[in-house]
Chain A
Amino acid sequence: MSFFPKALGKNDGTLPRATGSRIPLEIGRMRTMTSTIIADMDAGHVEQLPLLVHAARSFRLRCLVDAQADIEKAGVISVDEYQGALRALVKEESRKATVLREMERAGNEVDLEALISMMAPFGVRAAETVSAAFQLVVEGFLSCSVESPASCTFTFVTADATLAKPYYVPVKAVDEGMACSGCGTCQSACPVGCIVVDDGKVSIDMDKCIRCGLCYTVCPRSFLPKKAMEWAVKNDGFDADELKAGAYIEAWSAKTLNGGIATKAQDGGISSSLLVQAFQAGDITAAIGAGIKEGTPWKPEARVLRSVEDVVAVAGTKYVNTPSLALLRSLKDISAIAVVGTPCMMQALKKVDVYPPGTVATSNIKYRIGIFCMESFTHAAVKMLCEKTFGTSLDGVTKMNIKEGQFIVSLGDGEQKSESMKEVTRLARVGCHCCHDLTSECADVSVGSIGSPDGWNTVLVRTPAGKALFDAAVEAGLIEKKPLEEVEPGIVAVKKLAMIKKRNYDKEQGKRDEAQEFHPSYFMKLPPKEKKAAKAEQDE
């Protein structure tokens, strides 16, 4: 398949294209081809050559090619996957070159919508255009100004590849910049397996690192034009409500009817119930979740769940960070899986969707169940909290919960101790201050306790896949539901808290900008506060 089958070249079907003669790039061995005559180099076809020149200059591609032997030696990815990664990169770089070429031709400011329609004749999909354009911005070929949550304007800067800012840095920059979310996606994407994520910290074996930058590409905290991505995919407008808690189809308050889950669950037990439903219906054969590691109380580990029993065993929230997505790689051969995770993990999956690195894929993920998350803690922080503030060891704690501004721990004998969240938040991971997403806006279904009464979950159904799963669980009698409008405090509370998180991120970003520290680029602009906006109107 050629890159731009529709626009370039004579596509009248009379010329045999080279589709049949794709040669494998064999590792470590020269491939001699028997000569087959292909009708290449026709007038339209050669337009791809400048794009390929640009692609060949790509630092990332060079790294993958030069590290062939290392990748082979590491044995983490197969030859097929290696080729897949190369192919994905070549396509991506060619697309970027096309966007750059068209931007240069346009010569002036182009907003995202116009850019997408500019690229459509070349067979480049909206999401691909967004992906390419924002990469070019990060590399310094284009500049981008964000005017509103939904629209950004791009300006052509340079086409000189030697001036490119190499954004292909390892996630170390994210980690050292105290922005890492500890999701573990980079560990899955690394072609030589030199990254290990544990307890919210990344360690990279720099001797093994081939500096391909795939980790940085899939990292949700490097750059993430989330709103633009979603907008491009849906290609319709935005409303202010959508900005607050993301887009959703339905909002419910729900609780599980499964006794086993109910006794162990944090609140309504919905994420566990949804997994149980998916397993029982045979939709999935494995799921990624987090369970407590044996022998280390409240230190969770990412775990592959393979049955209903596994799901019930790990029910309940753990407030300690887990690199769940590091398991993605080991599940690549399973055809249908579900992932339960925090907003940062859902963002990471979305990032892999839009920037497929070739080494890790999301195609087998059937359901993404996101949980609400204000912040997470390192294991050491939770330990300190329990020992210093509550005067108890972690062994004795049976449940942790955050409710109405209080961090509550339940001890075995029914005793509860609590501490104001204002104090506890100080112990939260610094990286979590770089997050603007409370409600897992990139998930299929988001589940949390905010907005619903005790023992119930707030469920935001966001995609058709999520709706199908939730409806099936209700039908199977696993879940009891009532509309979120009918409960107190309802969606208002969710939106309020979600906005607080976004504003906090905005402040953090300002602080980091001032101190010239690293912060993720979300290409997002919050509307002014409602009160302020009203006041400004009055002043006028």
Chain B
Amino acid sequence: MSDIMQALRDGADGVGIFACHKGECDFESGNYAAERHLNAVKFMLAESGFNPDRVGIYFMSAAEIDRYLNAVTDLVTRVGALPVNPLKSDNTRGLTISSS
């Protein structure tokens, strides 16, 4: 949870989590936990007036390039429509998503 939040604090415009299909996690329930944490982060963001759309979780296997592409496109479109995070440092500046 704090890792997602920290990414936003360090200047990320959005955070995507790409997880294995449910039930196929190498750590048994790791992806369920990730989803739970992500939901909590969404809750915290919404509670304090941020757009919860800045974070998202997508489930896919390593072989499903189409799902991956769709997921990234989805995230970029969603986050691209939102204002740019002003907290960017030199490390995270490259990550700016242009909304064109």
Contacts of B28 in A (CB 8 A): none
Contacts of A73 in B (CB 8 A): none
Cβ of A356 to closest chain B Cβ, rounded Å: 16
A18 at the interface (CB under 8 A from B): yes
A40 adjacent to B49 (CB under 8 Å):
yes
B44 adjacent to A52 (CB under 8 Å):
yes
Cβ of B38 to closest chain A Cβ, rounded Å: 9
A336 to B15, CA, bound (A): 46
A56 at the interface (CB under 8 A from B): yes
B97 at the interface (CB under 8 A from A): no
Nearest CB to that of B22 among chain A residues? A30
Q: Which of A73-96 contact B (CB under 8 A)?
A: 83, 86-87, 90-91, 94
B83 at the interface (CB under 8 A from A): yes
B8 at the interface (CB under 8 A from A): yes
Nearest CB to that of A4 among chain B residues? B48
- A78-118 near B? 1/0 per residue, CB < 8 Å: 00000100110011001000000000000000000000000
B2 adjacent to A37 (CB under 8 Å):
no
Given A49-B5, A86-B40; A21-B46 close (CB under 8 Å)? yes
Contacts of A17 in B (CB 8 A): 49
Tier of interface size on chain A:
35 or more
B33 at the interface (CB under 8 A from A): yes
Given A18-B50, A33-B53, A49-B8; A61-B1 close (CB under 8 Å)? yes
Contacts of A62 in B (CB 8 A): 1
B41 adjacent to A43 (CB under 8 Å):
no
A41 at the interface (CB under 8 A from B): yes
A289 to B32, CA, bound (A): 45
B86 at the interface (CB under 8 A from A): yes
B86 adjacent to A41 (CB under 8 Å):
yes
A36 at the interface (CB under 8 A from B): yes
Contacts of A40 in B (CB 8 A): 49-51, 54, 82-83
A25 adjacent to B40 (CB under 8 Å):
yes
Contacts of B36 in A (CB 8 A): 65-66, 68
Cβ of A55 to closest chain B Cβ, rounded Å: 7
Nearest CB to that of A40 among chain B residues? B50
B47 adjacent to A87 (CB under 8 Å):
yes
The winner among A35, A56, A90 for most chain B CB atoms within 10 A is A56
Spell out A's residues near B (CB within 8 Å).
1-3, 9, 17-19, 21-23, 25-26, 30-31, 33, 35-43, 45-46, 48-50, 52-53, 55-57, 61-62, 65-66, 68, 83, 86-87, 90-91, 94
Pick 27 A–B contacts, CB within 8 A, sort by A: A3-B48, A19-B49, A22-B46, A22-B47, A26-B39, A30-B35, A37-B82, A40-B82, A46-B86, A49-B8, A49-B9, A49-B87, A52-B9, A52-B44, A52-B45, A53-B2, A53-B5, A56-B1, A56-B2, A56-B4, A56-B44, A65-B1, A65-B36, A65-B39, A66-B36, A68-B36, A86-B43
